[in-house]
A and B are shown apart, each in its own frame.
Chain A
């Protein structure tokens, strides 16, 4: 169970909205009617039972739709990045700076995921990229169905770069493939350097690791080399960028990589 955020509990409503537009749409979770008490009695007789093989992956539906998204992106030559991190690592600032620097060279589109508010979408629009905000309500992650709907509403252009800023959460989004080309995990030096070991599933499933806020490194006890060493223990395929989205330090290497993906 999503003990912290209660995601996908019955009745949760997911909304999609572009900044400056009144109109918004919803994706409703099917709600099961669970409003009655019962006792769990497991002492039943199994003598007449029949075993039926199912052999079905629990995340099959998400994975199938993710593959459909991936096929759509490939056919339209869209590079899709799934950006994940804990809340407050600086994903949105990183995106704002990326859009400002590259908007004349790349056709950038953004899907913003947060539980509530249009705040991030408003910032991205101001930076100059078309954006749609998904508010997941209680949900702690984006899934492939939300992305499928958001991509249609946003009308992501052919030959573009789509950046999906996932809900700030270093646990749940790791299990949900969105159909992205690459997964980008962001950590900042104001977090612990052992974060890759504490939340290994996310680092294990990512392709790129951006270490942000390096301008603050002299003031905090974060050893960048140690953090990279830990991250490589979890996933030896990771590629790193050390940046300060705020001062611009190290951002050129990230921009070059992003252009190279196109």
Chain B
């Protein structure tokens, strides 16, 4: 539900970089977004379509690298892939997950002319 404000932050980061580089054509903006980052990917895409109407970004494509979420069990130290916050450890069955990957939300790179 907050994807519009996230996109606004992304645009600020990219526009600031473009100013520094004195560049004005952006082909794509590449992002790393964890599957447990609290982001709805469709909503992010939708927000991008509507927010990037400035001259600099109107033709830019948003490329999202989805980062799978991984957790470590506090009980048995087993590391495993999770798709939600409440998956028990597949090895010992307890719910003591520490998520160490999958909460990323960053602008990775831009492709410019």
B21 to chain A: which residues have CB within 8 Å? 52
CB proximity of B34 to chain A, nearest CB, Å: 11
Q: In the complex the two chains form, what is the Cα distance from A55 to B110 in whole Å?
A: 10
Q: Is A13 on the interface with B (CB-CB < 8 A)?
A: no
Name the CB-closest residue of B to A61: B9
- By size class, the interface of chain B is 35 or more
- By size class, the interface of chain A is 35 or more
Judge whether B106 and A58 touch: CB under 8 Å.
yes
CB proximity of A198 to chain B, nearest CB, Å: 11
Within 8 A of B (CB), among A1-20: 1-9
CB proximity of B13 to chain A, nearest CB, Å: 5
CB proximity of A189 to chain B, nearest CB, Å: 21
Q: Is B67 on the interface with A (CB-CB < 8 A)?
A: no
Q: Is A51 on the interface with B (CB-CB < 8 A)?
A: yes
Within 8 A of A (CB), among B28-70: 31, 36, 38, 43, 46-47, 49-51, 53-54, 58-59, 61
Select B1's contact among A5, A44, A203, beta carbons within 8 Å. A5
Judge whether A1 and B7 touch: CB under 8 Å.
yes
Given A49-B112, A50-B112, A201-B85, answer yes or no on A236-B2 (Cβ-Cβ < 8 Å): no
A4 to chain B: which residues have CB within 8 Å? 1
Judge whether A44 and B106 touch: CB under 8 Å.
no
Select B110's contact among A51, A204, A234, beta carbons within 8 Å. A51
Select A52's contact among B61, B86, B106, B110, beta carbons within 8 Å. B110
Judge whether B106 and A32 touch: CB under 8 Å.
no
Judge whether B86 and A233 touch: CB under 8 Å.
yes
Select A174's contact among B8, B38, B86, B112, beta carbons within 8 Å. B38
Given A40-B49, A46-B111, A140-B2, answer yes or no on A1-B59 (Cβ-Cβ < 8 Å): no
Q: Is A146 on the interface with B (CB-CB < 8 A)?
A: no
Within 8 A of A (CB), among B92-113: 95-97, 99, 105-113
Given A58-B106, A201-B38, answer yes or no on A1-B47 (Cβ-Cβ < 8 Å): yes
Judge whether B3 and A53 touch: CB under 8 Å.
no
Q: Is A34 on the interface with B (CB-CB < 8 A)?
A: yes
Judge whether A2 and B110 touch: CB under 8 Å.
no
Q: In the complex the two chains form, what is the Cα distance from A51 to B50 in whole Å?
A: 24
Question: 28 pairs across A/B with beta carbons < 8 Å?
Answer: A3-B3, A3-B4, A4-B1, A7-B5, A9-B4, A32-B8, A34-B51, A34-B53, A40-B59, A42-B59, A49-B111, A51-B110, A51-B111, A52-B110, A54-B106, A54-B109, A55-B109, A57-B106, A62-B9, A140-B2, A171-B1, A171-B38, A175-B38, A197-B85, A200-B85, A204-B85, A233-B85, A236-B96
B residues contacting A by CB (< 8 A) are 1-14, 17, 21, 27, 31, 36, 38, 43, 46-47, 49-51, 53-54, 58-59, 61, 74, 84-86, 88, 95-97, 99, 105-113
A residues contacting B by CB (< 8 A) are 1-9, 32-34, 36, 38, 40-42, 44, 46, 48-62, 140-141, 169, 171-172, 174-175, 197, 200-201, 203-204, 230, 232-236
